[in-house]
Amino acid sequence: MKVLTDAELTVLGLVAERPRHGYELDEVVAERGMRDWTALGFSSIYYVLGKLRDRGLVAEVPEKRAHAKAKKTFTATEAGRKACAAAAEAAVAELRPVHQPVLVGLANCPPERLPAALARRAEAVRDRLAEVRRAAAAQAGAPPVVRAIFEYSIAQLEAEAQWLAGRKI
């Protein structure tokens, strides 16, 4: 089976939770802070749903609509649920290379400019950590997997903040 992109896996996972239409998908993506870790904009949600439908991974829920342009609700097919489970498990279990721009910057930043750049990054990391903590607090009643996503993000940011605090370049 063809590999799912992050955007496809995100949308498929959300419609596997329960049937949803595009606007609802956008709301859930925003509420859970998913835009911070996946490239899924509102304008691409219906495009992704179309791709998943064409591959037989989601299907339109048959229902009466007031008019042809009324919201279409989608649900995961059995093949979609299987593909989602396999892709999600692989994404969790497999260590994949992440190409961080900061590494390219560290390799090429002039030494005289590096301390200021690291200081700005440390400030950005502190700000982002505060934002993620606030978002996590707002998800107190969320399912454990949603809380785990926030915990993971917080742990990564805390590790980077600690690393930055120890830089004496």
DSSP string, 153-168: HHHHHHHHHHHHHT--
State the CATH architecture for 6-93: Orthogonal Bundle (1.10)
- The number of beta carbons lying within 10 Å of the beta carbon of residue 11 is 31
Q: Which residue has the tokens 């004496």?
A: 168
- Tell me: the pLDDT tens digits for 49-93? 999 999 999 999 887 665 555 578 999 999 999 999 999 999 999
pTM for the structure as a whole: 0.76
pLDDT for the residue 1: 62
Q: CB under 8 Å to 61, separation ≥6 — which residues?
A: 19, 72, 73, 74, 75
Judged against a pLDDT cut of 80, whether residue 43 lies above it is answered with yes
Count Cβ neighbours within 10 Å for each residue of 30-53 and write b for 16 or more, e otherwise.
eebbbeeeeebeeeebbebbebbb
Q: Which residue has the tokens 């979609």?
A: 80
